[in-house]
Amino acid sequence: MAITFEEFRTAFQRNITTPQGHDYARLVHRWSPNEEGKPLLVVEPLLEKDVSWAIRYANLNNVEVAVVAGGHSFMGASSSNGGMQIDLRCVKQVYVENERFGADGILSVQGGASIGFFGWLLGGGAGWAMGKYGYAVDSALSARVALASGEVVTASLDENPNLFWALRGAGYNFGVVTSLKLRVEACPHRIFFALLAYQTSEFEALIAASAEYAKTQGGEDSLGIIYGTQDAFGGPGESMLLILYYHGHDEAEARRRFKPVMDIPHMPLRCGMEWLTAACDLVESTIPYTRRYADSTAMADMSFDALKPALRKCAPGTDKAEDEDEAIRLCKDIISEIHGKQEQILGLRDHRWGSVYPNGALLPGTEASYVFGDRYPRLQEVKAKYDPGNFFHKKHPIEPLKR
């Protein structure tokens, strides 16, 4: 039976914003402006039943739905043009089930808890301590999922186990996950965290030392590099920011592990023992919000030769370019340069791991069958059971198996 908009609004009793609403710009904002859409409705559920009701209304009226948790995704995956945006950013309850706060235990989180948590986890969830604890999704014990019919089910090893399997990596394809139960590990000590800036003259040595470090990388440490067309103070120039993370409590051991990269001349922006929560916020709070253009990511072996042609295209001050079209063209150029290297090194259709990382490798036009590799047929079966009408199709849409 159809539901009219008036019936929907009366029973929903939560915020509904239209393009004329004063909060509309904030709600459609995404990490990168080119990922923003123009939905006709933005709904902000607070409870599971609100999510279910919004889905039922949209499905019965053929309204496209996009779900947003943190808004960090690529390909407009959480944005809609002309449809409904289900905005989970106001659903932020977190419960810890253990004897004392801070010990190992079970954590229950709702849809919008923390920035980007749900989208990040449902596509895998790679983080600094991944070598020790695995992907974030490995810690999932169960999920509540609002399906296209509006029915809400539990997915776990015991209930709907195939859906639970599918959620862990392709989780944005079957329904709206309204809450997750996770196993958590305590981190009662400070960890080593560093943010170091390197000048252009050190780039080649830094990439080589990082590749060397990767050969002996342990389960508790990781390294990331950000290239920027600014110097370390935000002035004209170029720089590379190195992020170092060691999950142990021994600073001397951390410095021993990272010696090859720390021996190269650099300017430390932050370097020492930090509480984990402080380290999580450091990157976003240290890097200024410049103009952004997200297109896709590429994976390749890390070598200076692979990166050099792309880096040479980054004129200092690119991010301040007056001509926006020119800046976007340059970004696309740089990305295709790296994609070209990726094809050359790995062979796009003959990837050595057989599939790619759903949160990361989003080449334009990448098909789900390529992303999920030999797991795709099983995902199609799960899709046929839980979302036969392909209602949730915004990111790597899975074609339901035809019976």
Ligand X SMILES: Cc1cc2nc3c(=O)[nH]c(=O)nc-3n(C[C@H](O)[C@H](O)[C@H](O)COP(=O)(O)OP(=O)(O)OC[C@H]3O[C@@H](n4cnc5c(N)ncnc54)[C@H](O)[C@@H]3O)c2cc1C
Q: Determine, following the binding rule CB under 6 A, whether residue 70 of this chain makes contact with ligand X.
A: yes
Secondary element (H or E) of residue 204: helix 203-216
Q: Determine, following the binding rule CB under 6 A, whether residue 125 of this chain makes contact with ligand X.
A: yes
CA 236 to CA 24: how far, in whole Å? Answer: 35
Reading across the β-sheet that carries 140-146, which strands appear in turn?
Answer: 94-97, 105-110, 176-184, 140-146, 152-156
Alpha helices (H) in 41-109, listed in sequence order: 48-60
Q: Determine, following the binding rule CB under 6 A, whether residue 77 of this chain makes contact with ligand X.
A: yes
Nearer to ligand X, 342 or 359 (CB): 359
Nearer to ligand X, 337 or 387 (CB): 387
* Residue type at position 106: I
Q: Determine, following the binding rule CB under 6 A, whether residue 380 of this chain makes contact with ligand X.
A: no
Q: Determine, following the binding rule CB under 6 A, whether residue 120 of this chain makes contact with ligand X.
A: yes
Among 17, 78, 239, 296, binds ligand X (CB under 6 A): 78
Nearer to ligand X, 148 or 261 (CB): 148
Q: Is the dihedral of CA 49, 50, 52, 56 positive or negative?
A: positive
Nearer to ligand X, 159 or 250 (CB): 159
Q: Determine, following the binding rule CB under 6 A, whether residue 394 of this chain makes contact with ligand X.
A: yes
Nearer to ligand X, 175 or 400 (CB): 175
Q: How many CB atoms lie within 10 A of CB 76?
A: 18
Minimum CB separation of residue 267 from ligand X in Å reads: 22
Q: Candidates 13-21, 115-123, 158-166, 242-250: pick the segment binding ligand X (CB under 6 A).
A: 115-123
Q: Determine, following the binding rule CB under 6 A, whether residue 176 of this chain makes contact with ligand X.
A: yes
Helices 48-60 & 5-12 angle (0-180, nearest 10): 180
Q: Determine, following the binding rule CB under 6 A, whether residue 73 of this chain makes contact with ligand X.
A: yes
Radius of gyration of the chain (CA): 22
Q: Determine, following the binding rule CB under 6 A, whether residue 169 of this chain makes contact with ligand X.
A: no
Nearer to ligand X, 92 or 255 (CB): 92
Binding to ligand X (CB under 6 A) within 19-38 occurs at 31
CA 304 to CA 40: how far, in whole Å? Answer: 46
Among 39, 45, 83, 116, binds ligand X (CB under 6 A): 116
CA 315 to CA 328: how far, in whole Å? Answer: 13
Q: Is the dihedral of CA 90, 123, 180, 53 positive or negative?
A: positive
Residues at the contact surface with ligand X, assessed by CB under 6 A: 31, 66-74, 77-78, 88, 111, 116, 118-120, 122-126, 172, 176-177, 294, 359, 394-395
